[in-house]
């Protein structure tokens, strides 16, 4: 493996990559526990794939914005280290697959040459900050949310308060009350508002999808823009301390809100305010890079198929608030496209538009700042690339996660059934190519990476067992979800479970009924009027598994008999409970705290010291088989188990010592004294552990 000490200019990035390289070596040499190594690589965008021996790499692209030169760099990396396929996710990232673990440091180094990062694209971190793909051009937006999304991304990248939480943390920004950033299903969602001439956001807290979707609570009806980063700093601190860590199924923000309620959360948030290093964080949107549109003479072109051109214009052009410009939507089937086409697209946008693309939450591509007179030219050029399929963000535009293609957690194929449903719509319901109202989404399992449970019509990968104990791929059909705007939404009801091969027939029954009886209503309203039992009666005929044919035991997109195989899920990260590893981590965090003090980053140093003390306490509690579900529980239980019983001598309590964190301002004096406390705690607890081991021999 190659060294990168002289290849990366940014010393912080260089340190990251060198550390990943070193950890890979330690892992191969048997010096690093597999679970610990998994946690570390996930936080660096390296995700285990369903296929053994290869990795999925997730490339973090804040709010889906990617410059032409960045896309070209990603293409080079994909060709060199992967197979030339790029996959757009529902969080506006790009994933590449089948990457050799040993080559991930050099892959990362190549990406960083054009300011593209893997850092915190996976793992128990603040994930990619998403936003409306029309941010900055939205005809209804009060202001461009891009500078605010970017500032938040930069603030939390490598921030010690958000590196090892119990689970991932997701944030979104919506340009307008249409809430196209889907704030109601995020841990924190921001909707742009202006009140009395002041920019700000409506703030939604504690939403989520998965097997138990939860609608976010309104935390603020209006919060000025300079308060959003201090707010999130406090929210993350509360989640880090009180959020579940042992049970991954209960470790999201939504479960913490469910347990303690919004008022209880606000009390904990208030208790953290002294520790938050910034009380106000002005975001200077005026300094955000200005758009530069190419000034070039309009080439003369002739459109061959005028009918197809008019259809494309009706569905794929997005109005833009800047006069004389439109945005062009590219429908990307299942979010997959290839580097040969991507390169041509990047060059086209660089030469004739603003040199940037937006990746959408529906796995598509938007080209902003296309001059109106260039529309025919772009159509002709995009047609050469196969990028002019009509139906951008319409019913035909189905969202699907990778499912059993590459994901460890996939239960049944999501891409295969998505492809089949698009064929059904094109052939039998062509009017839906123009219909923006019916939203169809598919996930390969309950974790909702395809966002199936917020769709009008959703499908979730499952399996079904016959009386003879034969297992076939299945789909849970969900109906009635939808985005209602301004932070309001509905989650879909689980209506029936059917064999996967009956998915197309289910869609036909649903659309046929809607066509016959909808009377111009939206699908969401029509479903609300009819209700779950009405649609259950329509679809019940498809649920019988006593009459399955051999074809029903073969999943979409494959020729082999179905076999339910679920690996270890990595999207949520893992819990490390090995005692020696925990003490090792505590020492690393103390070293990080010392480094932060040298850099005069007092708040960062304090948090490293805090996590070192909690880690050390967790090590001893683990040795006693005491549950270590939350940081707050660890602190309390350490007092009960070791201090009150006088097994370990403390002046005062461990709680008082550790929670100096939120009783003091993050000053230099406190950072240095708190670091000394952390060093003493580690030394005392390691000494206790060694005496225990000697006594056990």
Is it the case that residue 243 has pLDDT exceeding 60? yes
Q: What is the pLDDT of residue 246?
A: 79
Distinct helix (H) and strand (E) counts, the chain: 19, 22
Is it the case that residue 696 has pLDDT exceeding 50? yes
Query: What is the C-alpha separation between 138 and 558, in angstroms, rounded?
Result: 41
Q: What is the pLDDT of residue 542?
A: 96
Q: Calculate mean pLDDT across residues 272-301.
A: 94
* pLDDT tens readout for residues 80-118: 999 999 999 999 999 999 999 999 999 999 999 999 999
Q: Calculate mean pLDDT across residues 178-188.
A: 97
Q: What is the pLDDT of residue 5?
A: 47
Strand blocks (E) in 410-456: 440-443
pLDDT band at residue 225 using 50, 70 and 90 as cut-offs: very high
* pLDDT tens readout for residues 194-215: 999 999 999 999 999 988 999 9
Residues 482, 61, 400: CA angle, nearest 5 degrees: 40
DSSP string, 165-186: -SS-B-EEEESSTT-TT-GGGS
Q: Backbone phi, then psi, for 440, in 5-degree steps?
A: -115, 130
Cβ neighbours around 279 below 10 Å, total: 9
The one-character DSSP state at 642 is I
Evaluate whether 283 touches 289 at the Cβ level (below 8 Å): no
Query: What is the C-alpha separation between 631 and 262, in angstroms, rounded?
Result: 20
59 to 87, 261, 469, 576, 666: CA distances (angstroms):
10, 35, 42, 25, 33
**Residue where the block lists tokens 């202001």:** 143
**Residue where the block lists tokens 């800047």:** 322
Is it the case that residue 284 has pLDDT exceeding 80? yes
Evaluate whether 179 touches 202 at the Cβ level (below 8 Å): no
Query: What is the C-alpha separation between 224 and 344, in angstroms, rounded?
Result: 41
Q: Of 49, 57, 50, 73, which is closest to residue 20 (Cα–Cα)?
A: 57
Evaluate whether 612 touches 681 at the Cβ level (below 8 Å): yes
Lowest mean pLDDT among 153-157, 244-248, 319-323, 453-457: 244-248
In terms of Cβ atoms closer than 10 Å to its own Cβ (0-12, 13-18, 19+), residue 595 is middle
Is it the case that residue 382 has pLDDT exceeding 50? yes
**Residue where the block lists tokens 């989640």:** 239
**Residue where the block lists tokens 């932060």:** 596
Query: What is the C-alpha separation between 421 and 398, in angstroms, rounded?
Result: 8
Query: What is the C-alpha separation between 34 and 24, in angstroms, rounded?
Result: 10
Q: How many Cα atoms sit within 13 Å of 29 on the Cβ side?
A: 7
Evaluate whether 406 touches 51 at the Cβ level (below 8 Å): yes
Q: What is the pLDDT of residue 572?
A: 41
Is it the case that residue 7 has pLDDT exceeding 90? no
**CA distance from start to end of the chain:** 41
pLDDT band at residue 1 using 50, 70 and 90 as cut-offs: very low
Q: Backbone phi, then psi, for 430, in 5-degree steps?
A: -60, -25
Cβ neighbours around 647 below 10 Å, total: 12
Q: How many Cα atoms sit within 13 Å of 633 on the Cβ side?
A: 14
Domains, the chain, ranges and CATH?
11-112 (3.90.480.20), 130-287 (3.30.413.10), 306-384 (3.30.70.3340), 399-553 (3.30.413.10), 579-696 (1.20.120.330)
Q: Are strands 440-443 and 457-465 parallel, antiparallel or unpaired?
A: parallel
**Tokens for 98?**
């089948």
**Residue where the block lists tokens 């459109």:** 303
Q: Calculate mean pLDDT across residues 655-664.
A: 96
Query: What is the C-alpha separation between 394 and 399, in angstroms, rounded?
Result: 11
Evaluate whether 535 touches 529 at the Cβ level (below 8 Å): no
What is the radius of gyration, based on Cα positions, of the chain? Answer: 26
- Kindly state the percentage of the chain with pLDDT values over 70: 95
- Kindly state the percentage of the chain with pLDDT values over 90: 72
In terms of Cβ atoms closer than 10 Å to its own Cβ (0-12, 13-18, 19+), residue 686 is middle
pLDDT band at residue 574 using 50, 70 and 90 as cut-offs: very low
264 to 256, 261, 552: CA distances (angstroms):
10, 5, 50
Is it the case that residue 51 has pLDDT exceeding 80? no
Is it the case that residue 573 has pLDDT exceeding 50? no
Q: Backbone phi, then psi, for 180, in 5-degree steps?
A: -70, -10
Q: Can you list the alpha helix ranges (DSSP code H) found in 518-646?
A: 523-530, 532-539, 579-598, 602-623, 631-638
Query: What is the C-alpha separation between 265 and 517, in angstroms, rounded?
Result: 45
Query: What is the C-alpha separation between 481 and 523, in angstroms, rounded?
Result: 9
DSSP string, 306-352: HHHHHHHHHHHEEE-SSTTEEEEEE--GGGEEEHHHHHHHHHHHHHH
DSSP bridge partners of 208:
214
Q: Which residues contact 453 (CB under 8 A, 6 or more apart)?
A: 209, 213, 460, 478, 481, 491, 492
Q: How many Cα atoms sit within 13 Å of 295 on the Cβ side?
A: 2
Lowest mean pLDDT among 226-240, 295-309, 560-574, 651-665: 560-574
331 to 212, 347, 361, 393, 440: CA distances (angstroms):
30, 19, 12, 8, 14
Query: What is the C-alpha separation between 320 and 325, in angstroms, rounded?
Result: 6
Q: Of 382, 393, 379, 381, which is closest to residue 318 (Cα–Cα)?
A: 393
**Tokens for 181?**
């950033």
**pTM here?**
0.90
Query: What is the C-alpha separation between 435 and 394, in angstroms, rounded?
Result: 5
Q: Backbone phi, then psi, for 200, in 5-degree steps?
A: -170, -165
DSSP bridge partners of 357:
66
What stretch of H or E contains 87?
Answer: strand 85-88
* pLDDT tens readout for residues 121-170: 988 899 999 999 999 999 999 999 999 999 999 999 999 999 989 899 99
Q: Is 222 helix (H, G, I), strand (E, B) or coil?
A: strand
Is it the case that residue 576 has pLDDT exceeding 50? no
pLDDT band at residue 425 using 50, 70 and 90 as cut-offs: very high
In terms of Cβ atoms closer than 10 Å to its own Cβ (0-12, 13-18, 19+), residue 12 is exposed
**Residue where the block lists tokens 């939808």:** 482
Cβ neighbours around 149 below 10 Å, total: 27
């Amino acid at each position: 493996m190659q060294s990168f000490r002289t290849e990366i200019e940014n010393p912080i990035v260089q340190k990251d990559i060198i550390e990943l390289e070193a950890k890979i070596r330690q892992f191969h040499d048997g010096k690093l526990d597999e679970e610990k190594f998994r946690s570390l690589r996930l936080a660096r965008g390296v995700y285990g794939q369903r296929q053994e021996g290869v990795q999925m790499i997730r490339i973090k692209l804040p709010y889906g914005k990617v410059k032409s030169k960045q896309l070209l760099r990603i293409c080079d990396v994909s060709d060199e280290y992967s197979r030339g396929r790029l996959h757009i996710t529902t969080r506006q990232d790009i994933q590449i697959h089948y990457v050799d673990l040993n080559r991930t440091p050099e892959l990362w180094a190549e990406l960083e040459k054009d300011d593209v990062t893997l850092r915190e694209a996976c793992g128990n971190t603040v994930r990619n900050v998403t936003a409306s793909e029309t941010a900055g051009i939205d005809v209804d937006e009060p202001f461009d949310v891009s500078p605010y999304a970017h500032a938040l991304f930069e603030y939390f990248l490598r921030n010690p308060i958000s590196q090892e939480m119990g689970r991932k943390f997701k944030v979104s920004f919506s340009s307008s009350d249409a809430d196209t950033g889907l704030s109601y299903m995020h841990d924190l969602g921001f909707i742009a508002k202006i009140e009395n001439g002041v920019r700000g956001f409506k703030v939604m807290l504690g939403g989520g999808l998965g097997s138990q979707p939860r609608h976010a609570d309104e935390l603020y009806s209006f919060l000025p823009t300079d308060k959003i980063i201090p707010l999130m700093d406090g929210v993350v601190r509360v989640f880090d301390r009180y959020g579940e860590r042992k049970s991954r199924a209960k470790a999201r923000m939504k479960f913490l809100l469910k347990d303690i309620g919004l008022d209880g959360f606000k009390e904990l948030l208030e208790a953290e305010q002294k520790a938050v290093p910034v009380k106000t964080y002005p975001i200077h949107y005026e300094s955000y890079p200005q758009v530069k549109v190419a000034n070039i003479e309009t080439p003369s072109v002739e459109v061959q198929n005028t009918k197809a051109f008019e259809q494309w214009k009706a569905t794929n052009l997005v109005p833009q608030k800047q006069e004389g410009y439109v945005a062009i939507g590219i429908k990307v089937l299942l979010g997959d496209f290839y580097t040969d086409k991507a390169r041509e697209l990047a060059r086209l946008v660089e030469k004739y538009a603003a040199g940037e693309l937006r990746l959408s939450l529906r796995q598509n591509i938007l080209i902003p700042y296309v001059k109106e007179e260039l529309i025919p030219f772009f159509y002709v050029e995009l047609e050469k690339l196969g990028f002019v399929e009509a139906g951008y963000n319409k019913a035909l535009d189905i969202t699907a996660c990778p499912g059993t293609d590459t994901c460890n957690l996939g239960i049944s194929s999501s891409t295969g059934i998505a492809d089949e449903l698009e064929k059904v719509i094109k052939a039998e319901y062509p009017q839906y190519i123009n219909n923006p109202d019916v939203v169809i989404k598919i996930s390969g399992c309950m974790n909702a990476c395809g966002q199936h449970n917020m769709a009008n019509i959703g499908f979730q990968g499952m399996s079904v067992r016959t009386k003879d104990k034969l297992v076939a791929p299945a789909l849970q059909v969900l109906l009635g979800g939808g985005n209602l705007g301004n932070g309001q939404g509905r989650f879909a009801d689980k209506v029936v479970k059917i064999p996967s091969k009956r998915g197309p027939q289910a869609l036909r029954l649903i659309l046929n009924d809607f066509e016959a009886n909808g009377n111009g209503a939206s699908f969401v309203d029509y479903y609300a009027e009819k209700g779950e039992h009405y649609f259950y009666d329509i679809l019940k005929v498809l649920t019988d598994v006593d009459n399955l044919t051999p074809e029903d035991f073969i999943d979409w997109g494959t020729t082999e008999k179905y076999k339910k195989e679920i690996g270890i899920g990595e999207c949520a990260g893992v819990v490390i409970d090995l005692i020696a590893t925990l003490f090792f981590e505590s020492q690393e965090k103390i070293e990080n705290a010392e480094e932060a003090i040298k850099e005069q980053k007092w708040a960062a140093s304090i948090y490293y010291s805090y996590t070192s003390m909690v880690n050390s306490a967790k090590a001893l509690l683990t040795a006693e088989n005491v549950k270590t579900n939350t940081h707050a529980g660890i602190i309390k239980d350490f007092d009960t188990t070791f201090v009150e019983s006088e097994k370990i001598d403390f002046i005062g309590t461990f709680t008082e010592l550790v929670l100096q964190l939120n009783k003091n301002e993050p000053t230099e004096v406190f950072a240095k004294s708190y670091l000394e406390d952390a060093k003493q705690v580690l030394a005392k607890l390691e000494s206790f552990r060694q005496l225990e081991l000697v006594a056990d021999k």
